[in-house]
């Protein structure tokens, strides 16, 4: 049987390192980053090749544990383990976003490792500090950080990033966001054709493949989608800590639910808003990354919660599962307000807190999710 676009996207998602190696062998100058707060437009404008990295649960932090305390987010510990295993040595530059305190500490550790392990093959690393509080002063600071990153990228790419190049890069990046938005009907629509697990594969692969290749594969998937899924379980949204792997989503779906939306840094909201293609491209880029992307530093929280509710309503969900990492010290503060918003709309919520990354209690999770699904079905009866 011929390989389908979905097969290719699943493969890219499952083995991002193999994709990175293939792209490097083909001549790509790879600029790696984490999460969604590093402006991919600057990388493209410099003539370089972006790749979004993520932690892998298989990377148990045996070496990383000697330097990094256990209360670091599990995914960050997995990322550090992969770094120590030389997996990111092929990058021309690694850009670490200061999305949260734990990523700042990751950056510091990366900078210190050569003193402790001189043999370690680490990529050149840069910190990108993005503030997400509204206001003119914050915007000026962010512009300065973007200009500094642009200079560093221009030095690697060998060409300056001018307004024309940046405007073209914004258009290219928006094409990928648009392709993902058009594909999202395949899992969020009234008759889903993709599972929530496959939705994560599509979203994740979009950041791993060359952007033009990602757009082509996603457009081909939309043009010839799989058949409708034979399911009739409650439609659920998963929110909270980033779900860059499919383990929990697959577990939820195996219990009889349909996961039709994800609101976290690996989910649907990462492509919901386009960068403005009008006016000054630098100002448009600053506005987008300061005000329009989700993240733990996004403020005010009421605006973020309104966008969460809008996603839940547009996906016509029957309930929400909020999932927090074992060492979360940020998202838990937001839960009471979010529960009040859900209660006001009659949407039930299951809150799973302190969930380990490397050894999740799957039996406990399954029992809780199954009971939640049954309560939704009983309420609808």
* Model confidence pLDDT, tens digit, residues 301-328: 999 999 999 999 999 999 999 999 999 8
37-60: b (≥16 Cβ within 10 Å) or e: bbbbbbbbbbbbbbbbbbbbeebe
| Residue span of the structural domain in which 109 resides | 5-380
Mean pLDDT for the stretch of residues 10-35: 97
Q: Domain count for the chain, please give it.
A: 1
Q: Give the DSSP H or E segment for 258.
A: strand 258-263
Mean pLDDT for the stretch of residues 89-106: 95
The radius of gyration computed from the CA coordinates of the chain, to the nearest angstrom, equals: 20
CATH code of residue 49: 3.40.50.11900
Sheet holding 258-263, edge to edge: 258-263, 235-240, 319-325, 349-355
Give the largest CA-CA distance in the chain: 64
* Model confidence pLDDT, tens digit, residues 233-271: 999 999 999 999 999 999 999 999 999 999 999 999 999
- Nearest C-alpha neighbor of 86 from the set 156, 13, 19, 21: 21
* Model confidence pLDDT, tens digit, residues 174-233: 999 999 999 999 999 999 999 999 999 999 999 999 999 999 999 999 999 999 998 789
Percent of the chain as helix, strand, coil, to the nearest 5 = 50, 10, 35
- In the chain, the percentage of residues whose pLDDT exceeds 90 is 92
């Amino acid at each position: 049987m011929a390989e389908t676009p979905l097969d290719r996207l699943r493969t890219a998602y499952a083995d991002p390192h193999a994709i990175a190696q293939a792209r490097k062998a083909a001549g790509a100058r790879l600029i790696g980053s984490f999460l969604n707060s590093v402006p991919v437009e600057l990388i493209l404008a410099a003539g370089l090749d972006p790749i979004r990295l993520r932690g892998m649960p298989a990377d148990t932090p045996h070496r990383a544990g000697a330097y990094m305390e256990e209360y670091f987010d599990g995914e960050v510990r997995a990322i550090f383990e992969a770094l120590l295993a030389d997996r990111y040595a092929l990058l021309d530059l690694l850009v670490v976003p200061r999305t949260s305190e734990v990523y700042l500490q990751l950056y510091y550790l990366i900078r210190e490792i050569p003193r402790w392990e001189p043999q370690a093959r680490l990529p050149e690393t840069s910190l990108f500090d993005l503030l997400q509080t509204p206001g003119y002063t914050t915007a000026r600071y962010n512009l300065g950080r973007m200009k500094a990153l642009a200079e560093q990228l221009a030095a690697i790419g060998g060409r300056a990033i001018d307004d024309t190049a940046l405007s073209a890069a914004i258009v290219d990046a928006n094409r990928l966001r648009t392709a993902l938005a058009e594909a999202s009907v395949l899992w969020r629509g009234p008759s889903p054709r993709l599972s929530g697990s496959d939705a994560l594969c599509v979203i994740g692969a979009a950041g791993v493949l060359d952007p033009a290749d990602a757009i082509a594969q996603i457009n081909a998937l939309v043009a010839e989608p799989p058949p409708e899924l034979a399911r009739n379980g409650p439609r659920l949204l998963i929110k909270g800590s980033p779900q860059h792997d499919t383990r929990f989503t697959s577990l939820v779906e195996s219990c009889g639910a349909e996961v039709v939306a994800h609101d976290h840094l690996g989910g649907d909201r990462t492509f919901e808003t386009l960068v403005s293609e009008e006016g000054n491209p630098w100002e448009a880029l600053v506005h987008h990354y300061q005000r329009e992307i989700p993240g733990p530093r996004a403020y005010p929280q009421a605006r973020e919660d309104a966008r969460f509710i809008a996603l839940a309503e547009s996906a016509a969900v029957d309930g929400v599962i909020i999932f927090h990492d074992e060492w979360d010290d940020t998202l838990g503060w937001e839960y009471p307000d979010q529960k009040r918003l859900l209660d006001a709309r009659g949407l039930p919520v299951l809150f799973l807190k302190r969930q380990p990354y490397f050894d999740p209690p799957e039996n406990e999770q399954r029992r809780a999710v199954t009971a939640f699904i049954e309560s939704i079905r009983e309420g609808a009866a």
